[in-house]
Amino acid sequence: MRYLLDANTYIQAKNQYYGMDICPAYWKWLDLQFQQGMLASVEMIGRELKEGNDELAEWAKARPEHFIKHDDNDTQLIFTQIAEIVISGDYNPANRDNFLAKADPWIIAKAKVIGAIIVTHESFVSPNTKKVKVPNICQQFDVPCINTFQFLRELKARFVLES
């Protein structure tokens, strides 16, 4: 099974619980999981991460292969369907436009095409909300969506202190 990581999973890990200076094992583990074909992300997320001016940007720049292409015909077709659903929905226009301009619809489309699970920190919101959220759109397109901690448990990650 393959997992596609949303930008917020990298950013929050770096800024909070898996800071590159306090838990380098997490980042090495991501490399290992990529090498084993278990995870990736899409190029658009790679571009977002590389725009930063920090160690995460450098990490992403050193790993272009972690960010797979999402411009194939099948992904574009699903992206179009996602855009149509979002545009026709009763969403806040600014939130809707921001969602469509970023990587979120692309990662969902790519996950649908390759049968992957999305890993994100976004939470499902009630259907009558005015915000577009990844888990809600994933649900509409039958794309599994989990958070980082579910992902770590599914892959049986362990970061053990060695003495």
For the segment 87-142, what is each residue's pLDDT rounded down to a tens digit?
999 898 999 999 999 999 999 999 999 999 999 999 988 878 889 999 999 999 99
- Residue-wise pLDDT tens digits, 8-17: 999 999 999 8
- Residue-wise pLDDT tens digits, 18-40: 999 999 999 999 999 999 999 99
**How far apart are the C-alpha atoms of 24 and 75, rounded to whole Å?**
33
Q: Does an H or E element contain 68, and which?
A: strand 67-68
For the cut 80, the answer to whether the pLDDT of residue 162 exceeds it is: no
Q: Does an H or E element contain 106, and which?
A: helix 104-114
Which two structure tokens, joined as six digits, stand for 128? 């009558």
For the cut 90, the answer to whether the pLDDT of residue 161 exceeds it is: no
pTM of the entire predicted model: 0.94
pLDDT of residue 1: 59
**How far apart are the C-alpha atoms of 11 and 55, rounded to whole Å?**
11
- Residue-wise pLDDT tens digits, 39-88: 999 999 999 999 999 999 999 999 999 999 999 999 999 999 999 999 99
Q: Does an H or E element contain 15, and which?
A: helix 7-15
Q: How is the beta sheet containing 67-68 ordered, strand by strand?
A: 67-68, 39-42, 3-5, 117-119, 145-146
Q: What are phi and psi of 26, to 5 degrees?
A: -60, -45
C-beta separation of 108 from 41 below 8 A:
no
For the cut 90, the answer to whether the pLDDT of residue 149 exceeds it is: yes
115 Rama sector, left if φ>0, alpha if ψ -120 to 50, beta otherwise = left
